[in-house]
Homo-oligomer: A and B are copies of this chain.
């Protein structure tokens, strides 16, 4: 944002922080700084001066106040699984890890609500509420390791978002520490809320730049009793994209509607292990479609309708998962595709999102832009939401093209998204790596408006500096 002169964390800062969080929860070891200087975004490493791991809300408040009073950058970190560099301490200073905030405080079965700390891992929370017949739907691909606080930072989605919405749709209330050490609850534990400005929604997706979330009240829903999963192969990727919209138009909302290009499938299978069915050479794309609900007959009927639509769009023979194991195997291919691509080459992942029916246009455009600039892309994502993850692969591409031409290509992709009514991030956030592209979707006066909102919460701009805005 503006040219703030930040201070480094000194030895005095260190001692004060140590007295706040305790000796075993503070570190300046290089190994620790390196560990907390990375996330899942490309190959970035940024070192903070100090890592702290507070265990209580008053400790978080004291750390924030200390940094605020001394203009020391303060970057909050969940589990470090982010894909936009949101947790990287790019300006040094203090790295505040929320990993000790790992308690599920209460699952309120009477009200279908849960109060949790932000360091709880998504999958652990899902499993705990499932035991009570309850459901917390948001399920990012990284659910096994990502934290609920990180999910709040980006309003993370996942396959189930197409039917159940993203993280945002399940947050009722947040306890937040502000940079000056004040603590607020953003809203109320209610399903409806019309009580002044909605600070809960403002906080969600703000990527740690407005406050530090210390407690979350989630809404839960009843767990659906059944699900069915089908894998639909296509010879033509655009046919697959076109089929997607027709399913919703037929009045069916699947609980997952995932798209994978041929390369994504091959790489994921290579990475995650064999599958017990043939991937025919002529298949260019797959849709993974799940329906869920309480009545198996209805689900079967839905699958029949979906099957008809797929056939009309030139699908090859549909595979129904006939056991829990086969379902798990199919989901594994989808969930591991990100890691697989990452392990295969240097890459850049773009989190494009457009109105659902524009997906074929976006896919075609991405390929054309790739041809123009000489880069290859592997695409997969949440087709039902119009959310396409475009992985641009370095492979043996010349460094000069990668550094100089690629940003032009990405700019063109994002401009296409904007023209189609979409935007540059559906669920990964802006963080570090997309901030240069933000002016594509917002005019200058809107950027200024957002920066001024930031300054209301964080006048010294200590919270996660160098993110979202240039």
**Chain A contact residues, CB within 8 Å of chain B:** 108-113, 133, 154-157, 161-162, 166, 168-169, 178, 182, 184, 187-199, 201-202, 204-206, 210, 221-223, 225, 245, 248-253, 294-295, 297-298, 301, 351, 353-358, 382, 385-387, 418, 421-430, 438, 441-443, 445-446, 449-450, 452-454, 456-457, 468
Contact = CB atoms under 8 A, between A and B. Distances in A.
A387 to B, nearest CB: 5
B166 A169 contact: no
Given A196-B430, A197-B450, A294-B251, A353 B386 contact: no
30 contacts: A110-B249, A110-B357, A111-B357, A112-B249, A155-B194, A161-B191, A161-B192, A162-B191, A184-B445, A189-B422, A190-B423, A191-B356, A191-B385, A192-B385, A193-B205, A193-B425, A194-B205, A194-B351, A194-B427, A196-B442, A197-B468, A198-B202, A198-B205, A201-B202, A202-B202, A202-B453, A222-B249, A222-B252, A225-B251, A456-B456
Given A184-B445, A187-B423, A456-B452, A198 B204 contact: yes
A204 B201 CA distance: 10
Contacts of A245: 110-111
Contact of A450 (B199, B357, B426, B445): B199
Nearest to A155: B194
Contacts of A297: 295, 297
A442 to B, nearest CB: 7
Contacts of A193: 155, 205, 353, 423, 425-426
B202 A445 contact: no
Contacts of A202: 197-198, 201-202, 453
A427 B387 CA distance: 31
A382 to B, nearest CB: 7
A108 B178 CA distance: 42
Contacts of A425: 193-195
A239 to B, nearest CB: 16
Contacts of A188: 353, 418, 421-423, 441
Contacts of A357: 108, 110-111
Of A184, A353, A443, A450, most buried by chain B (CB within 10 Å of CB) is A353
A424 B197 contact: no
B422 A194 contact: no
Nearest to A420: B189
Given A188-B421, A197-B205, A355 B443 contact: no
